[in-house]
Structure 1
Amino acid sequence: MAVLGEIRKRPWLLMGVIALALLAFLVNPDSIDKIFGKNPSILGKVNGEEISRDEFNDQLFVLQQQAQQQGQPQNGLEEQAWQVLVQSKLIKQEFEKLGLELTDDMFWSQLQYDPMFAQNPSNFDEKGNFKLQDIKKQIEGLQEAGQAEMYNAWIRNKKSIEYRMMARILFGNLGNGITASKKEADLVIKQRDEIANVDYVKVDYTSFEKTNPTKVTTQDLTDYIKLHPTRFKVDANRNIGYVYFPATPSAQDDAASLNELNKLFLKGSDASNGTENFQNTKNDSMFVELNSDVPYMPQYLKPEQLPTALKDKIAGATVGQTFGPYKEQNYYIVSKLLDKKPTDSTMSSHILIGYKGAERSTATRTKEQAKKLADSILADVKSNAANFDKDLKFSDEPNAVERKGSVGWTTPESQFAPGYLNFLANNSKGSIGLAETQFGYHIIKVDDKKSGAMAYKVAHLAKAIKASDKTESDVHNKATRFIQQVQGKSFNEFSNIAKKGGFNMQNPKAVTRFQGQLPGLGTDKDGEILTWAFDKKREIGDSDIFTVDGTGDRIVAYLVGKQDAGLANPESVREQIEPIVKNKLLAKKIIDKINAAKAGSLDQIAKLFNTTKANSDINFFNANIGGSMEAKVAGAAFGVANNKISQPIEGMAGVFVVQRKSIKSNKMPGDAKQVVDAIQQQNSNMFGQGYLKSLQDNADIKDYRIEVWDKTGHQQ
């Protein structure tokens, strides 16, 4: 089924607004009875419109499927889910404010433009017409076939498609109003072509500070933040310091792991009464499953997919040959070559006969009826191979006739049903036969075969190099001594003690409750540390020890600071804005000095600061002067009359005073119409992102997640 296939293959296309994913998370439903205060089913509001728990939980299966298919960790998805859902609400609200309505008819008419459907050629016929009625029938068929889970998946994802449609229609309507006039184009052409020649004096901030040391106080940072409140609006966050104590295996632990492997490799396994070892076992897969720290994998792999120690040796090896022991990352390994064969590529076609209960099938026939029909088609095709195309009409695979049943080229490593791949592996070009998979019965025709590179099936007997109980105990004692030393101490003392001990310390200045991972850590305890730091009982200066599951590593965390939602704490953003604020303070000193001296020429100003006068060309499109891009200086150069001295200009790299000598025009290619089109296109491209950011910056957003989450006792 095309619809369900897309849901399974590319769930990320279904979710969110403008190619983002609406993901699921949050409160443990079993803990509802523990909540008092905020409504546990409401996680927040956007301009008064509620964000419900159900809106997140309805998307949970999509999150899990996406993470599994892409092999991604599930930490940190909560904040992404929140942000995208907030954006979805804002778009819906603006959509309705404009008097727009997404009717059912509009939904179906717009479906062909949604990425989920637009990017799948099978949703269009040979003439490019969208197969809307076929898709509707497929969705209706889910209900009729009793596929409740799949139908509910469609209903949940339909909401996300609606958000995307509203965004596309909203941005399209507003974007159509973005225009550019000829007068605007003429101004841009003038700014592009005119070049001012100026004499100037630059008082460099760095040089000036050498003789005028300037300290940026917390109040200076605060004043700057208040002037730019939108830029420094932050969610509740915490300043956490943490020291990591890895339970690194000792030399004795390393030797013990190697000895354990050698015992299984050379002498025998206790699990097999000491008589069987990896060299003489008759059942390699079972021996590995019983004795190895990594599972047995039956796939055939190319040399580049094998461990480094085998890549250059495997080609000349014989079946049964062993390699090792060798060390790969944190394992000692012995590998045995079980089989090798060329990875032929096969072109094949099939007719799929599904039945009620088969995976992804909407067929109503029984399995027995399906087998009978498949046998009949097989006999017909075997009697005359040309009948294959005629019998494609019986196939339950979407668009089978249009695609002539082709599945393209596959290899033994392709992500296909094993039963299908086994048939291809064991049959030559021109063969026709029947194979059964979880999807039903396949009448398969092998259209072509190409020889490929050699692939190898290898069994790996591996033993992890783990920290022993003694090593873990030593690490615990080290972490315990450290936390005892820092109890009641300031963060500076915490940092100094860690540095003196040679320990690995991290200090992210602002971590949020739902970001999932902590910079520099990435352990299963990150979420627990965040929960600890945001506990309402937690006080600045508190510290605690956390043990990483599976490794025995210890983490000592220290709460440095607490920040409520609002404007950022000045010290938390000092590294970000201190250079800017310092330059502003230096600029004021320089300008005050120029004004106090009442200097009437560039030479006098240059002498005042022990620098020199210089000359340069500058224009709005290339505002490079004195080694830095200075848009304000370009503006002043065109704003002052010839041979007049400008007021002091606070630039990016220093304070400038300019005296314009002349203006010349350097006509560049491109007429007014081209410039109008370019301006309009640029503004249109920037509109969506800027518009959405503006909506979010000015929205009344209430976030109850911390309160609701913490009262449920939920932990990541």
Structure 2
Amino acid sequence: MAILGEIRKRSWLLVGVIALALLAFLVNPDTIDKVFGKNPNILGKVNGDEITRDEFSDQLFIMQQQAQQQGQPTKGLEEQAWQILVQSKLIKQQFEKMGLELTDDIFWSQLQYDPIFAQNQQYFDEKGNFKLQEIKSEIEKSQTMNPDNYSFWLKNKKAIEYRMMARMLFGNITSGITTSKKEAELMIKFRDDMANIDFVKVDYLEFSKKNNVKVTTQDLADYIKQHPTRFKVTASRNIAYAYFPATPSAQDDAATLNELNKLYLKGTDASGGTENFQNTKNDSMFVELNSDIPFIPQYVSPTQLPSELKDKIATAAIGQTFGPYKEQTLYVVSKLLDKKTSDSTLSKHILIAYKGAERSTSNRTKDAAKKTADSLFAVIKADPAKFAEGLKLSDEPNAVERNGSVGWTTPASQFAPGYLSFLANNPKGATGLQETAFGYHIINIEDKKSGAMTYKIAHLAKNIKASDKTENQVLTQATRFIQQTEGKSFNQFKNLAEKNKYRFDNPKTVGRFQGSLPGLNTDKDADIITWAFDKKRNVGDTDIFTVEGTGDRIVAYVVGKQDEGLADPETVRDQIEPIVKNKLLAKKIIDKINAGKYTSLDQAAKAFGTAKASGTVNLFNPNVNGAMEPRVAGAAFGAQPNKLSNPVEGMTGVYLVFKKSVSTNKLPGDVKQITEGITQQNSQQFTGAFLRSLQDNAKIKDYRIEVWDKSPQQ
């Protein structure tokens, strides 16, 4: 009743809401967006289908996880995630238009063909059968026992569904690609017929030496308008920057070395005495407290050591120190703590996990796990043959199929320390119970092999950093530069940077969500991009950014702003200027040829200071004296015999062609072979071309720049 009363009090608001709802049917949705602002939960639309913030976050999360697993950078994946979602929406739309349906039964039957599963043998038994029921059972259990894993599965499931739709869609479409007998016969004719020609070529490069043309911004714009699909772009910024590194000075270098020598020889006051790196009784703690790199407890091979130690370590005594020496941006003193052979051990285990253990999905308590492990260990110790039966109780995935084996390991392997300790301190054939962060392991050592010598080393290291004085000098330098270039043109910014030999770069097309700047790759890249895309930002604006941890300064400059639509001519000048220049030259050459009204190749050759040439050309491989010229080949077959062609605008020059004859050179391959070859080639090329066509012709609305920094609606 209180709720109804509140509604009555706000009846005017209810009327307003109803009126707004009616208005929504009468006006364009884009108009409502302009009045009330974009929904921050909707990042874009593909032919009306929304791309939500949650969808984008899920896709990005999956890609970051994959990158992390593969040891690749996790930054700068936002644009890739967006493109995958756009293409997934397009595929789903076409999938549904064709009347196809991805049922639950189809999903599970096709799961084994998805790359996540198809490329991982652990999902198949020794006969190659897909372990579908085990996988489904594990997923069902995780729904209640491990919600995080289940949530991750749901994120991946959506991506898997899109991939399945793509396979089914393209499979249906490409199965309908055929090649007619007529098409194959025509292709054979194009391949075998050769036109014998005389020609004159007015080369663009040679002609431009005496008749140079300047390509204006308008010339570039005109070309872009003629090819709108090719130059359709998303919003971007043309950014330039000058980089001012806070490089440590000679004084900074010396100060770092003095600091290291003090820790190495004189030490620190500890427990009323002087402890240094030479006399410390706890090397690992001393390193952790005083070094700029952490203590590494693992044993390593000589190849994993700094070059300063590689040739000396074999004859070194335990406790011997090396240094100080310089290793990249560090001053280092190293101490040999221990050495031993890197025995390789083959082992197997039964894992009894408990709730709270690392990677555990078990609900048993730690006490219950300990009782189970103790009981099972007693049985196996009395009868080692019972180990195989005990594997059925193991919480390790696929333990029975793998016989509990973890393969060959060494002391340097990435395993739980307690597990490695048991392997190191017990002989071949030993079985024991060992606790680690993962639970209780019943371990059996199956075999041991002696290996090369490995070394345990403590490194006391200090980063050679720029001092406050050096950083202030860099700040002064960057500040002076920004004051000199404020309000100036891009050319003045560039010229001053190059004159002073500052590091300069101009990545011309930077997307809002690409994450990093080409050639820069600092923690400030994303900040610079965000700054450049600010609505208040204007062409010519500058600002200083400080790189964390180094004191380096970056002065950024907004060269240009590209809104969604056709590309700004100057941002693609490097890409299209040679093409446009050749077109301008071609027009001059053709105008001159037409004005000369030449009746023979000799006349044209003399007028342009070039020579007449001869050759053969066909339509299948339109090579004219080393240059690929499709239009020239077309003119050669299209011109009447013994008659001069019209000027042909080619790729490398303007041609006049005189066709003398056409001959046939029959090559191997019958109609059937050619038909199969064309069909296969078209099928391979079709999927990419089809997807590009869908994207080029789709109504794609990208709201990310407008809504990205807004908080999602609660």
Q: TM-score surpassing 0.5?
A: yes
Contact kept, 8 Å, 1:267 with 1:274, in 2: the verdict is no
> Equivalent residue of 2:137, what SS?
helix
Counterpart residue type for residue 660 of structure 2: K
| Deviation digits for residues 484-541 of structure 1 (CA, Å, limit 9, x no counterpart) | 1112222222222222222112112221211111122111111111111111111222
> Which whole-Å CA distance do the structure 1 matches of 2:639 and 2:70 have between them?
59
Q: For 1:23-76, what per-residue CA distance to the aligned partner results, in whole angstroms no more than 9, with x for missing partners?
A: xxxxxxxxxxxx972111111111111111111334565355345434444432
Deviations 1:267-287 (A, max 9, x none): 112567661111111111111
Q: Which residue identity is paired with 2:233?
A: V
Name 1:46's counterpart in structure 2: 46
For 1:208-241, what per-residue CA distance to the aligned partner results, in whole angstroms no more than 9, with x for missing partners?
A: 1112121111111111000111111111111222
Partner Cα separation in structure 2 for residue 272 and residue 240 of structure 1? 56
Distance 1:358 1:266, change over 3 A: closer
In 2, Cα distance between equivalents of 1:597 and 1:96? 61
Q: Give the corresponding residue for 2:62.
A: 62
Aligned to 2:237: 238
Is the contact made by 1:225 and 1:570 (CA closer than 8 Å) also made in structure 2? yes
Q: How does 1:67-216 map to 2 (within 5 A)?
A: 67-144=67-144, 146-216=145-215
Shift of 1:645: 2.8
Work out the CA distance in 2 between the residues paired with 1:273 and 1:682: 81
Q: Which residue pairs with 1:325 in the alignment? A: 324
Tell me the amino acid that sits aligned with residue 388 of structure 1: F
Task: State the alpha-carbon separation in 2 of the partners of residues 665 and 371 from structure 1.
Answer: 86
Greater mean deviation of Cα atoms: 394-403 or 331-340: 394-403
Shift in Å at residue 709 of structure 1?
A: 2.5
Contact persistence 2:60–2:77 (CA under 8 A): no
- Give how far 1:288 is off: 0.6
Deviations 1:298-336 (A, max 9, x none): 122222222222222222222211111111111111111
> Which residue in 2 is equivalent to 1:32?
none
Matches within 5 A, 1:212-223: 212-223=211-222
**Match for residue 682 of structure 1?**
681
* Aligned-partner residue type, residue 304 of structure 1: T
Which one has a bigger Cα radius of gyration? 2
Residue 113 of structure 2 aligns with an amino acid whose one-letter code is Y
What letter corresponds to residue 109 of structure 1 in structure 2? Answer: S
Deviations 1:627-664 (A, max 9, x none): 32222222222333443333222111111222233333
Report how far residue 585 of structure 1 moved.
0.9
Contact in 2 for aligned 1:535/1:710 (Cα 8 Å): no
Who is 2:561 aligned against? 562
Q: Partners of 1:685 and 1:448 in 2: how far apart?
A: 50
Q: Is 1:605 aligned to residue 604 of structure 2?
A: yes
Contact 1:204 1:655 in 2 (8 A): yes
Contact 1:238 1:563 in 2 (8 A): yes
Describe the SS at the equivalent of 2:594.
helix
CA drift of 1:462 comes to: 0.7
CA contact (8 A) 2:64 2:77 kept: no
Asked if structure 2 preserves the Cα contact closer than 8 Å seen for 1:434 and 1:443, the reply is yes
Secondary structure at the residue paired with 1:659? strand
Distance, in Å, in 2 between the alignment partners of 1:447 and 1:98 is 58
Cα distance between partner residues in 2 of 1:337 and 1:617: 75
SS in 2 for 1:475: helix
- Structure 2 CA distance, aligned partners of 1:410 and 1:133? 32
Query: Which range moves more in the overlay, 52-61 or 261-270?
Result: 52-61
- Tell me, in whole angstroms, the C-alpha distance in 2 between the residues paired with 1:513 and 1:301: 44
After TM superposition, the structure 1 stretch with the greater mean CA deviation from structure 2, 399-408 or 63-72, is 63-72
Query: What amino acid does structure 2 have at the position aligned with 1:57?
Result: S
Report the counterpart of residue 487 of structure 2 in structure 1: 488
Once residues 460 and 577 of structure 1 are traced to their aligned partners in structure 2, the CA distance between those partners, rounded to angstroms, is: 54
Residue 125 of structure 1: CA displacement?
A: 2.8
2: CA distance between counterparts of 1:273 and 1:525?
A: 45
Q: What SS is found at the alignment partner of 1:149? A: helix
Q: 1:479 to 1:186 in 2, by over 3 A?
A: same
Greater shift after overlay, 263-272 or 584-593?
263-272
Q: SS of the residue aligned with 2:350?
A: strand
**Is contact 1:214–1:586 with CA below 8 Å preserved after alignment?**
yes
C-alpha contact (below 8 Å) 1:191/1:621 kept by paired residues: yes
Unaligned runs of 5+ in 2: 1-34
Per-residue CA deviations over 1:326-384 (Å, capped at 9, x if unaligned) read 11111111111112222222222222333344334444444333333333333333334
Percentage identity across paired residues of the two chains: 72
Which digits, 9 at most, give the CA deviation of each residue in 1:367-414, with x for residues without a partner? 333333333333333334333334333333333333222222222333
Q: Specify the alignment match of 1:444 in structure 2.
A: 443
Residue in 2 that maps onto 1:588: 587
Q: Partner amino acid for 1:307? A: P
Partners of 1:453 and 1:495 in 2: CA distance: 56
Q: Which structure 1 segments of 5+ residues have no match?
A: 1-34
Alignment CA distance shift 1:304-1:209 (3 Å): same
Equivalent runs, 1:236-635 vs 2, <5 Å: 236-270=235-269, 275-635=274-634
Q: Deviations over 1:240-262 (max 9, x none)?
A: 22111111111100100011111
- Measured in 1, the distance between the counterparts of 2:304 and 2:698 equals 51
Check whether the contact 1:643–1:659 (CA below 8 A) recurs between aligned residues.
yes
* 1:23 alignment partner in structure 2: none
Call closer, same or farther: CA 1:207–1:432 in 2, change over 3 Å.
Answer: same
Seen in structure 2, the aligned counterparts of structure 1 residues 246 and 644 have a Cα distance that, compared at 3 Å, is same
Secondary structure in 1 matching 2:275: coil
**Pair 1:637 & 2:627 matched:** no
Contact 2:68 2:74 in 1 (8 A): no
Counterpart CA distance in 1 for 2:441 and 2:464 is 47
Does the 8 A contact of 1:271 with 1:290 survive in 2?
no
| 2-structure distance, mates of 1:470, 1:619 | 71
Matches of 1:164 and 1:444, distance apart in 2: 41
| Cα distance between partner residues in 1 of 2:348 and 2:377 | 13
Q: Using the alignment, how far apart are the partners of 1:361 and 1:265 within structure 2?
A: 44
Q: What is the number of equivalent residue pairs in this alignment?
A: 678
Q: Distance in 2 between matches of 1:366 and 1:230?
A: 63
Name the SS of the counterpart of 1:441 in structure 2.
strand
Distance in 2 (CA, whole Å) between partners of 1:40 and 1:642 is: 68
Which one is further off, 568-577 or 671-680? 671-680
Aligned equivalents of 2:163, 2:244: Cα separation in 1: 46
Letter in 2 for 1:525: K
Q: Which amino acid in structure 1 is aligned with residue 413 of structure 2?
A: S
Q: Which amino acid aligns with 1:120?
A: N
> 1:271/1:230 Cα in 2 relative to 1: closer, same or farther (>3 Å)?
farther
- SS of alignment partner, residue 402 of structure 1: coil
Matched AA of 1:69: Q
d(CA) in 1 for partners of 2:487 and 2:460?
Answer: 50
Amino acid at match of 1:44: G
Provide the C-alpha distance between the structure 1 equivalents of 2:326 and 2:530, rounded to a whole number of angstroms.
38
Tell me whether 78-87 or 459-468 shows the greater mean CA deviation: 78-87
Indicate how the Cα distance of structure 1 residues 195 and 432 shifts in structure 2: closer, same or farther if over 3 A, else same. Answer: farther
Residue 433 (structure 1) shift? 2.0
